[in-house]
């Protein structure tokens, strides 16, 4: 079971839901923090980090002695990562998507791969929960390759909970694609509803069952609830705007540990997800 916890906008409580569900389920789960531009799940899970490794992505290296400046490499590159100026070939590593097309079309075999650092991946654990997070290198523009590396380290024998980046762009798709269920966290505000609509559209393109958690459910208005009802989106949990919960969060603590009555609620949330993902019923509006 792979559950990706996503949201149309930042600040809705996505990490809160992901970390508390992981802690409620205990030893049979792993938490992957794929919000690699600003990972923060470790602040709440507090894992013991056992290993950190650098992650590189392949980029082209031109052998100028073999190169004839035929331009085939620049012609195939749709990201403008290679340019031929006179007899000189210029490579722009930050634009390269590591597709390898330039090496395939080079008639002189003048292009080989070298590495460019993307960031780091850290591995750890807490009370049997396996933890992995990625951290993008400062100044790096492309996070999807690092997100895919984090996901590749997942243990197929465990329930995998992914803390996805906010929004609906490429990093989010990389964190959601191939999941068994998308759990979207939203809030009952105009911004929450606007970005929820965008997120639901992205999930429908992927064809993955989904459900909602409404955080701070007793503020704002009822338009998020009306939208969910009109679209047939199941609301699997509501979390009230509670001062005690806010104080627990501000101290970097977990709700399920400070308020034990919430543990069974998060376990029940997982049971609902498991039932929907298995039957694909009740979430049909997300896969139409």
Number of domains in the chain: 2
Please tell me whether residues 89 and 227 are part of one structural domain.
Answer: no
Question: What are the E-state strand segments in the chain?
Answer: 2-7, 29-33, 48-62, 82-85, 88-91, 111-126, 129-136, 159-166, 181-186, 210-215, 235-239
More confident residue, 32 or 285: 32
Average pLDDT score over residue span 204-228: 92
280, part of any domain: yes
Average pLDDT score over residue span 225-230: 93
Please tell me whether residues 195 and 232 are part of one structural domain.
Answer: yes
Query: What pLDDT does residue 147 have?
Result: 96
pLDDT at 286 over 70: no
Please tell me whether residues 102 and 136 are part of one structural domain.
Answer: no
Please tell me whether residues 37 and 132 are part of one structural domain.
Answer: yes
- Average pLDDT, rounded, for the chain: 92
Determine the distance from the C-alpha atom of residue 185 to the mean position of all C-alpha atoms in its chain, rounded to a whole number.
Answer: 13
User: Which of 78, 109, 140 is at the close of a domain?
Assistant: 109
pLDDT tens-place string over residues 57-96:
999 999 999 999 999 999 999 999 999 998 899 999 989 9
48, part of any domain: yes
Please tell me whether residues 244 and 183 are part of one structural domain.
Answer: yes
pLDDT at 281 over 70: no
Query: What pLDDT does residue 194 have?
Result: 93
**% of the chain surpassing 90 pLDDT:** 82
pLDDT at 282 over 50: no
Query: What pLDDT does residue 283 have?
Result: 47
Query: What pLDDT does residue 45 have?
Result: 95
Average pLDDT score over residue span 277-283: 64
Please tell me whether residues 254 and 127 are part of one structural domain.
Answer: yes
Please tell me whether residues 26 and 127 are part of one structural domain.
Answer: yes
Query: What pLDDT does residue 140 have?
Result: 87
Query: What pLDDT does residue 49 have?
Result: 96
Separation CA 225–CA 91 (nearest Å) = 50
Structural domain that includes position 87: 64-109
pLDDT tens-place string over residues 149-192:
999 999 999 999 999 999 888 999 999 999 999 999 999 999 99
Please tell me whether residues 199 and 249 are part of one structural domain.
Answer: yes
The tokens describing 19, both together, are 């970390």
CATH number of the domain bearing residue 239: 3.40.50.300
Please tell me whether residues 71 and 172 are part of one structural domain.
Answer: no
Owner of token pair 């003048």? 110
Please tell me whether residues 214 and 100 are part of one structural domain.
Answer: no
Query: What pLDDT does residue 288 have?
Result: 52
Average pLDDT score over residue span 230-239: 94
Please tell me whether residues 88 and 215 are part of one structural domain.
Answer: no
17, part of any domain: yes
Max Cα–Cα distance, the chain, nearest Å: 70
Average pLDDT score over residue span 23-31: 93
Please tell me whether residues 225 and 138 are part of one structural domain.
Answer: yes
pLDDT at 280 over 60: no
pLDDT at 6 over 70: yes
More confident residue, 218 or 17: 17
Residues 25 and 104 sit within 8 Å (Cβ to Cβ): no
CATH number of the domain bearing residue 80: 3.30.70.20
Average pLDDT score over residue span 244-249: 94
pLDDT at 37 over 50: yes
CB neighbour class for 271 (10 Å; exposed up to 12, middle 13-18, buried from 19): exposed
59, part of any domain: no
């Amino acid at each position: 079971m792979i559950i990706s916890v996503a949201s149309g906008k930042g600040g809705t409580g996505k990490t809160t839901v992901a970390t508390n569900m992981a802690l409620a389920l205990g030893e049979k789960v792993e938490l992957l923090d794929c919000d690699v531009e600003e990972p923060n799940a470790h602040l709440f899970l507090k894992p013991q980090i056992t290993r950190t490794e650098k992650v590189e992505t392949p980029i082209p290296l031109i052998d100028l002695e073999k190169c004839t400046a035929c331009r085939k490499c620049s012609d195939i590159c749709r990201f403008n990562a290679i340019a031929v100026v006179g007899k000189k070939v210029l490579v722009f590593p930050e634009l390269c998507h590591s597709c390898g097309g330039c090496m395939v079309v080079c008639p002189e075999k003048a292009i080989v791969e070298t590495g460019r650092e993307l960031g780091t991946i850290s591995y750890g654990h807490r009370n049997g929960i396996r933890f992995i997070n990625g951290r993008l290198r400062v100044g790096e523009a492309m996070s999807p390759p690092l997100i895919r590396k984090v996901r590749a380290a997942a243990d197929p024998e465990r329930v995998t909970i992914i803390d996805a980046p906010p929004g609906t762009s490429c990093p989010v798709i990389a964190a959601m694609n191939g999941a068994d269920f998308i759990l979207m966290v939203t809030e009952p505000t105009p911004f929450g509803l606007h970005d929820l609509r965008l997120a639901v559209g992205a999930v429908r393109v992927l064809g993955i069952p989904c459900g909602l958690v409404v955080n701070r459910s007793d503020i704002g208005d009822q338009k998020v609830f009306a939208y969910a009802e009109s679209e047939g989106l199941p609301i699997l949990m509501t979390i009230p705007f509670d001062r005690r919960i806010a104080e627990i969060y501000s101290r970097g603590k977990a709700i399920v540990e400070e308020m034990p009555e919430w543990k069974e609620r998060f376990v029940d949330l997982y049971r609902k997800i498991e039932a929907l993902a298995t039957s694909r019923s009740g979430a049909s509006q997300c896969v139409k």
